[in-house]
Every structure is written in structure tokens, then in C-alpha cells.
Amino acid sequence: MKIINASFEIMTPLNGAEILKHIETAGRTCYKSEDKITASSAEKFVANIIKNGHESVLEHFSFSVRFIVDRGVSHELVRHRIASFSQESTRYCNYITDRFGRELTVIKPCFLAEGTPAWDTWKTECASAEAAYFELLELGCQPQEARAVLPNSLKTEVIMTCNLREWRHMLSLRTGKAAHPQMREVTTPLLEKLKELIPVVFDDIKVTS
């Protein structure tokens, strides 16, 4: 059994300046004010539309992120709309094969300290689930049947694609105090990275502890 940390990868190349220009061009169509576009007008325009709540204009740009998380976190991710998802399938992935190293990969729970009784119990139960899963496969069960014993901690990969407006909504919810700690583990650094890559769009979203 392999234990790894949760992580994310922004899959779409993001040029913040070009994204803001794209949003400005789309937004100014509403007012036919394209003549006011200058080399430096995009940031102010986008900041104003966010301030005034006209966030539908942000739907004109989308990007994709690959999340490597446990199954529990993935269940929360796929609740977001409007978004597109592609997820590693336990129906078709057979973890007893060489392709997967003949072992399960699980996500390290960020809220458990290694060496504590709670950690030891978690690790033991994950190993027990791995053994049961492999036994079911060896008894002739298909992966889609043997998956019944897989734990929530099982690593999964989810590609999430949505527009800027939905990313704002998702990150506002999933970086907040009420969000699950393992969700915050990936959404908080993602938000900080997006603030670096795309000016203005995510600046008003504050991480609360």
C-alpha cells in the first residue's frame, strides 16, 4: 500500500493579462464600449464587473485542474455546477495489476499525525481493505464488484473544468472555515496560485481559518 499527499495541477496554460483582455472584450460588447479598450484597461474593467456583481461575463473563460485526492473529497468536488468532470474509475481500474504497482494508493489524511494511535488505526484499516479487495479479485470478482470494500481514503484523480465564475464560487465555499480539511488542503494553495496567475479575478476571496 502506498500513501501519498493530496495535490493539484493546473492543466490549462494561464496568461492572466490575455484572460483579462478576453473578458473585457466580451463584457464591453454589452455596452458597445470597445473603443475604451486600452493596453491597461482590462484590470479595472474586470474589477468593476466583479464589484458590481456582473459575474456572468466571467463565464467566457474556462480552465481545467487535475485534483489528486481521496474518494471522499472527490464526492464533494463533483457536486459543483456548472462544471465538467472526468474521474478515475474503480469499475475499470484493476489495482492488482502491474499497471498500478499491484497495490492500492491512499491519500494521507492531513489531520492525523504519523505514529499516533489514530494514524495507526487508519493505516491498519486501509491495509485490511487492500487485502480484502485483492482477495475478492483472486476469488473471481470483477473490479467493479471488488470495489465495494475500497476505503474513502483511496486515491483518485479528478479533472475539473469550469469557467471563472464557477471557480470563484467553488473556491469561496471550499476554502472557507466549514470546508473539509482535506478539501482545504488542495483548494487553499490552488486559490493562492490563481491569484498569482490571473490578476483581479480571485483577489476578493479570502481564506478563513
Across the beta sheet with 155-163, what order do the strands follow?
Answer: 7-10, 62-70, 155-163, 84-87
Nearest in space to 74 (alpha carbons), one of 3, 6, 142, 169: 6
List the grid coordinates of 105. Answer: 494508493
174 an active-site residue?
yes
Amino acid at residue number 27: G
Q: Which residue among 165, 168, 174, 184 is the active-site one?
A: 174
- How many CB atoms neighbour CB 37 within 10 A? 14
Task: Tell how strand 84-87 and strand 155-163 pair up.
Answer: antiparallel
Active site residues: 174
